[in-house]
Amino acid sequence: MPLIKFTKMQGLGNDFVILDFEEYKKTNKTPSELAIKLCDRHFGIGADGLIIVNPEVKNTDIGWIFYNSDGSIAQMCGNGIRCFAKYVYSNGIINKKEFSVETKAGTIIPTILDDGKVRVNMSQPVLNPVKIPVKVENNLNFDLKVSDRVFKANAISMGNPHCVIITEEDTKNLALKYGREVEVHELFPEKTNVEFIKILSRDEINLDVWERGCAITLACGTGACASVVASILNGLCDNKVKVNLPGGQLVIEWDGSKDNADYDVYMSGGAELSFVGEVCV
């Protein structure tokens, strides 16, 4: 079995195995197979997802290949893109602090800040039910029935689908109890990430997340973005919001409104090196 070099990084406890393209090419496995093997917390390195640096792009500075820990492909990952940005900049793969990344959610623009954090232009939220996708006519405050409950749900895509549920109850318990059932609900043909949020003030919310293909995680960057967009569209928050997740805090900015949603979402937060090593695959 080939021995390959890897880097482990985390953003608010949402952790990722990162491979250079040359290391990936040493293996005889698909990205999906590698993700399942490397992300396993008992028999592998352990992570929420696998990121492969992809230099073979034409219209952006760099690209990435991203897979969830269960081997499923993901269009976007907010914490992952911050870790990726920090990795390619710190390792000299990219020599400028603001650059473009090709993803399956389109072109994403991260910026390395002077304090070491990463601010990312996450592009515009998708509110069209067909494009999210979700099988409802109105993506805001629709009834979502799961087992013994009916939730008022908000469907938003940040390049990947999200179901945001605003509640006064314990968000952690709701995510644990209902996250999986909402993820695979028939209204979401591509499954969905699930966010249970509690509004603390006009500029702060709490969030617990059940991620599509990962289950409970400590943080979800795209989920934080979708949650703030949903909060603003429901008139509950202002345009700059602190999002408290189990793994830490993100700051999300969106100048959109119910009358005009054509604004990009900006996410700011940390990304840290955990360790580097070699692994047999």
Known catalytic residues?
77, 220
Token pair 């609900």 in the structure block, residue: 185
Check the CA dihedral 188-189-194-199 and report its sign: negative
CB 236 within 8 A of CB 199: yes
Question: CA 83, 88, 91, 92: dihedral to nearest 10 degrees?
Answer: -150
- Say if residues 38 and 70 touch (Cβ distance below 8 Å): no
The span from the CA of 65 to the CA of 82, in Å, is 14
Within the chain, strands assigned E span 3-11, 14-19, 49-54, 62-68, 101-103, 106-112, 118-121, 142-146, 149-157, 161-166, 193-201, 204-211, 215-217, 240-245, 248-254, 265-269, 272-280
Q: How far is 211 from 67, CA to CA, in rounded Å?
A: 13
